[in-house]
Amino acid sequence: MGKVVQRSASLGAQVADVLRQRIVRGELVPGSRLTEEALAEEFAVSRGPVRDAIMQLSFEKLIEVHKPRGIYIVGLSDDDVDQLYSLRGALEHLATERAMRVVDDARWRPSRDAVSRMLAAADLGEHNAFAVADLDFHSEIYALADHPRLEAAWQQYLPTFAALLEVTINHDEDLQDSAADHDRLYAVMRSGDVAAARRVLGEHLDGARTRLSLELAARPTR
């Protein structure tokens, strides 16, 4: 049975979300071939949204388009993971330093709320709620940075990092360590110690990259 998408949101974005998750999870393996016709039939949409999705995933380097032969899955290699997290590190260190200039407590409340939601989700073992709060927390750093182009760069890659987070977080039986990491990062950002914030953020992102690399390495070779 084909995947049915919701008409209230961008159809292309929804198709891209499903395909991205399949690629990151390893359900679509590198080298496998897709066609616009088959995807349009599966998702019950016209070829327009499918082409939008293909364009987005090609931008993300998850697929390659070879006309007229078709669409081929690239997937994620260790080098891809390194590139994604080194890019995120560069973006997020800049965002963090700019965010730390904000002294208005009211503007920091959404960040504190996201941490509280992570702590509560960790206590209850609610992985999906934790992932949403995790991404909300990091998105708030970019919002606090008051740098629209920087925030736009994060938003471009946010769907990819959401898919990556889903892979790693669903293999974590205990979410307490990750919740504590975010609590510590929030506290150090509010302290005003930029050097400490860079160190804590670097350790946090390095840990995420390592966990993802281990997850990919543990997958069976097909």
CA distances from 135 to 171, 192, 195, 214 (A): 17, 22, 23, 21
pLDDT of amino acid 1: 43
pLDDT of amino acid 217: 79
pLDDT of amino acid 131: 94
Angle at 61 between CA 80 and CA 205, to 5 degrees: 35
Helices marked H in 105-193 — which ranges? Answer: 105-124, 127-144, 148-169, 176-191
Domains identified in the chain and CATH numbers: 11-73 (1.10.10.10), 78-217 (1.20.120.530)
pLDDT of amino acid 3: 60
pLDDT tens digits, the chain, 222 residues: what are they? 456 555 545 899 999 999 999 998 888 989 999 999 999 999 999 999 999 999 999 988 899 998 877 899 998 888 888 999 999 999 999 999 999 999 999 999 999 999 999 999 999 999 999 999 999 999 999 999 999 999 999 999 999 999 999 888 877 678 999 999 999 999 999 999 999 999 999 999 999 999 888 888 777 665
pLDDT of amino acid 8: 45
Least Cα distance to 142 among 189, 174, 175 occurs for 189
Distance CA 213, CA 28 (A): 18
| Helices 127-144, 176-191: inter-axial angle, 10-degree rounding | 20
Distance CA 101, CA 151 (A): 16
Least Cα distance to 154 among 203, 94, 199 occurs for 94
